[in-house]
Amino acid sequence: MRYPPSLPVAVDGLPAKRADQAEKVAARVLSRLTGANLEPLDVIGGAPGQHDFDLVHDDGRRIAVEVTACIDWDAARFVDALERQASHHDVDRLHHSWELRLFETTQVRGLIDEMIPRLIQIEAAGVVGLARTGLFDDGPMVRFGSSHSDHSVPAAVSELLALGVDTAWASPRPGSQGSVEFIRRSLGGSGRTENLVTDEVDRAARNKVAVMSRAAAAEGSERHLFVWLDADFCGDVEFSLWSGYPDTARPPALPRPIDHAWVGCWSLTPGEGIGHVVIWEAARGRPWRYPDVLSISQSLYD
């Protein structure tokens, strides 16, 4: 596998709460990449409505920077619901261990009671696996056990999908009760997902137009948006940034007055992790790319 280039960044003094780390990481990354001095603006006692900081260059140029962290609220609510409702359930009437991947918008409360009778029905019909979409997008994919010759698809399959199931796979548990495990559906690692990065940056840019339109930001020569991706908030997008390639992703649609976008995440490369940042950047109207400075020390492994 070819790993993406990463930039070493000091992690001393970062807030313990990961949600608060984005601004400090962004400041350290951009100061390393641009060589500019930092001037924090959105501070206690400062003027209201400020962007996060300015990058001040030796020639006097000022770049206004606003930082935001990706927060997938559907995923956050889903994880919270699993913690409150329990993700693992032992069920006497089942003969298999079922792993059910659910959409983030699935309502978890009371779901197990809805699932059990339908899982019993598909077990009786010999179904051992199902997925929302078949190979040619011609309806759900249904897998039957080798001992069943009747491959009639029970209505319970469609009912499970309607409840928010994306995939369901069974493992036999001879001589013991079955179980159900609820897992959040993940996009990372299946197919090309680089556009998830662009989607997240586009969403963040729309939300930050008001801040970057204020007078304080307009004083700078440029206005930049830094979007920090963290597995706690948007693991699929973080994985896509690390595993994808900038030149294959759709360019961001940066609305005015935002001139430039940066997006970063901790490296997932073996031996790196926290302390090494993978970064893409794009000017308005330009495609994504790795920052030039990374080409000096980038490490690509086959």
Q: What is the per-residue DSSP string for 104-117?
A: TT---TTHHHHHHH
- pTM for the predicted model, two decimal places: 0.66
Is 84 domain-assigned?
no
Examine the domain organization and report whether 167 and 127 are in the same domain: yes
Same-domain status, 51 and 114: no
Q: Are residues 59 and 97 in the same domain?
A: no
What pLDDT was estimated at residue 43? 53
Report if residue 155 sits inside a domain.
yes
CB 172 within 8 A of CB 96: yes
239 and 108 together in one domain: no
- The predicted pLDDT at position 186 comes to 55
Same domain, 63 and 99: no
Which 3 state secondary structure label does DSSP give 211? helix
**pLDDT over threshold 80, residue 189:** no
Judgement on whether residues 98 and 160 belong to the same structural domain of the protein: yes
Q: Is residue 186 part of a domain?
A: no
pLDDT greater than 50 at residue 297: no
pLDDT for the residue numbered 2: 76
Tell me, yes or no, whether 76 lies in a domain. Answer: no
pLDDT(149) > 90: no
Whether 184 is in a domain gets the answer: no
The domain boundary, picked from 176, 207, 237, lies at 176
Average pLDDT, the chain: 85
Residues 116 and 254 reside in one and the same domain: no
Total domain count, the chain: 2
Residue 98 shares a structural domain with residue 152: yes
SS (H, E, C) 14-52: CCCCHHHCHHHHHHHHHHHHHCCEEEECCCCCCCCCCCC
Answer yes or no: is 85 within a domain: no
**pLDDT tens digits for 248-283?**
999 999 999 999 999 999 999 999 989 999 999 999
The b-or-e profile of 251-266 (16+ CB within 10 A means b, else e) is bbebeebbbbbbbbbb
Structure tokens at 60: 């006097």
Is 278 contained in some domain?
Answer: yes
Mean pLDDT of 80-91: 85
Based on the fold, state whether residues 99 and 150 are members of the same structural domain: yes
Asked if the structure places residue 185 within a domain, the reply is no
Same domain? For 116 and 156 the reply is yes
Which one of 143, 176, 209 terminates a domain? 176
pLDDT tens, residue by residue, 95-105: 999 999 888 77
Residues 106 and 241 in one domain: no
Boundary-marking domain end, from 122, 151, 176:
176
**Domain co-membership, 63 together with 132:** no
Domain that holds residue 226: 7-69+192-297
